Structure 1
Amino acid sequence: MAKKSKKDENPKVSADLEGFKMKINSFGEISSSFSIDKINEFLNKNVDDKKLRDRDDLEEVKKKPKK
């Protein structure tokens, strides 16, 4: 039996990242369909940074619920 190619399937992603594509060209340069600022905003909102958990001077970290 022939195997199904995984290149034809799109991965399951968050609704905020719908349409996100990353490509690496022959020179090793990375290009994406989203700006770096939008990617960083998504990561700041959805990913817990364990290095910043115990800092008292960051109010954003205190307000964010731990997962």
Structure 2
Amino acid sequence: MAKKPKKEENPKVHKDLEGFKMSINSFGEISSSFSIEKLNEFLNKNVEDKKLKDREDIDDIKEGKSSDS
């Protein structure tokens, strides 16, 4: 029995990432429909960094304050 081709569906994504697509070409290079800066901004806003969660000055870092001032 022949396999039916899968219908290509768009994955469910966060509303801020609507239209986001990634692909890998034949050379192994990753291409994306969003810029790296936009992806990093989204991740910084929505994902907790486990390495920094126990730091006391994390709120200052998130607000953009430096510890030097």
Shorter-chain TM-score tier: 0.7 to 0.9
Bigger radius of gyration:
2
Identical pairs, percent: 73
TM-score (norm 2): 0.75
- How much is the aligned-residue C-alpha RMSD, in angstroms? 2.0
Mind listing any 5+ residue stretches in structure 2 that lack a counterpart?
Answer: 64-69
Q: After the TM superposition, list the runs of 4 or more consecutive aligned residues in structure 1 that deviate by more than 2 angstroms.
A: 1-4
TM-score of the pair, normalised by structure 1: 0.77
Letter of the structure 1 residue corresponding to residue 18 of structure 2: E
- Counterpart for residue 42 of structure 2: 42
1:18-55, CA deviations, whole angstroms, 9 ceiling, x for partnerless residues? 00010100000000000000000000011011100111
The CA deviation at 1:56 is 2.3
| Unmatched tracts of structure 1, length 5 or more | 62-67
